[in-house]
Amino acid sequence: MIYLDTSATTAMYPEIIDIIKKYAVDNYYNPSALYTNALNVAKDIKNAKQKILDILHGTGNIVFTASGTESDNMAMFGSKKFKDCKILISNVEHSAIYQCAKKLEAQGIQVEYVACDRFGIVDEDDFKAKLSSNVALVSIMHACNETGGVNDIEKLVKLTNQLAPRAIFHSDGVQAVCKMPINLNKLGVDLYTFSAHKFHGMKGVGGLYIKKGVNINPIIFGGGQENGLRSATENVSGIISTAYALEKTYKNLDIEKNKKIMNYLETSLRKIVPNCIINTDFQRSLSNILSFSVPNTRGEVLLHLLEDKGIIIGTGSACSAQKAHTRIPIALGLSKEYFDGMLRISIDNSTTFEEIELFVKEFDNCYKFLSNIMK
């Protein structure tokens, strides 16, 4: 099987099973307990946190959660609001942010949606125009899960500090972490989300970075773990394996190889479907995602034809297993005939040129087959 949907999830490193055994079977102690074995587990969690902060160059704290989605919810609901405040998000944010914004809107908080260009990158003029002194929270994703487009977060944070000094700046880094170098101190963000299963860690483990000096409220209450910010007995093996996976994946990251693969892919796709639209601008994107839209075609059909050949690719969220919606294609400015035909190829370090060549060959066959049927 050729797996080209690494933005959806990745395979967990098999050696993480040893970490799970170590902390779930051998050293299974509750890190909040007072005996030495438990204190040792608490120390291992502390070291894992510090390792993550060091790799991402952050100064502050990390609260571990059960997903990127939960971290995004914590940022959206836990950050402090004030009377007559407003929130800014981009119009291509992942549902984990977008649905929180909709909920906050229903609760009476004003939300403004910042426009993007056709590559899913925030329009800086529109962003600037929407900043004002009553902005309490800005949430702009670091890299877009649909197109791979990377926002200039450092610049957006600076603009926010100038024009909306009361605002907390959150960035959803779920797709960016381990795909590009991250320096949280340099970015200047107050809050930053990541999710372990996107970089070969376990599913169901996420984190929210909180810059030193920034205060947010908890959204889960109970025994007061994580300094009262996220009650629940810690997912010890999840946390420790996240630090392991982060370090290993960064060591393996080969941006130049990814770029070569993507370059070849783009050229090949343009030949096969001359009127396709490439939604990724490689000058301003992650090196591992290529999004393209095929006109008058259901991406889902191509996906299943390729699946029959043993190749897995992704569709855009306009065509997901949950429900079909048009928010993203509209935000990207695609015209109607391209709505259903959005496809996403996402790779990682293990992807080979041979696999990509095979994908191109099979995609060509599947597209020709489909075009003949539709004649």
| Site for ligand PLP, rule CB under 6 A | 67-69, 72, 94, 96, 141, 145, 172, 174-175, 195, 206
Nearer to ligand PLP, 74 or 136 (CB): 74
Q: Which is nearer to ligand PLP, 58 or 238 (CB)?
A: 238
Report angle CA 105, 111, 114 to the nearest 5 degrees.
145
Smallest separation (angstroms) from ligand PLP to the CB of 183: 19
- CB of 113: closest distance to ligand PLP in angstroms? 16
Closer to ligand PLP by CB, 120 or 273: give it: 120
Strand pairing report for 110-114 and 277-278 = unpaired
Residue 216 near residue 168 (C-beta atoms within 8 A): yes
276 is catalytic: no
Our measurement of the distance from residue 240's CA atom to the centroid of its chain's CA atoms, rounded to an integer in Å, reads 20
Residues 141 and 179: their CA atoms lie apart, in Å, by 14
Q: Measured at CB, which residue is nearest to ligand PLP? A: 68
Q: Which among 148, 190, 168 has a CA at the least distance from the CA of 291?
A: 148
- The CB-of-165 to ligand PLP minimum distance in angstroms stands at 27
CB of 299 to ligand PLP, least distance (A): 17
Distance linking the first and last C-alpha atoms of the chain:
31
DSSP-assigned letters across all residues of 72-115: HHHHHHHS---TT-EEEEETT--HHHHHHHHHHHHTT-EEEEE-
For ligand PLP, the closer CB: 100 or 229 = 100
Exposed e or buried b for every residue in 199-209, given b needs 16+ CB within 10 A?
bbbbeebbbbb
How much is the CA Rg of the chain, to the nearest whole Å?
21
Annotated catalytic residue within 100, 116, 319, 366: 319
Alpha helical stretches, state H, the chain = 16-20, 36-56, 68-78, 95-106, 124-130, 153-163, 184-187, 236-252, 255-272, 299-308, 327-331, 353-374
Closest contact distance (angstroms) between CB of 206 and ligand PLP is 5
- Minimal distance in Å, beta carbon 354 to ligand PLP? 27
89 versus 273: smaller Cβ distance to ligand PLP: 89
Shorter beta-carbon distance to ligand PLP: residue 72 or 340: 72
Q: Which residues are part of the catalytic machinery? A: 319
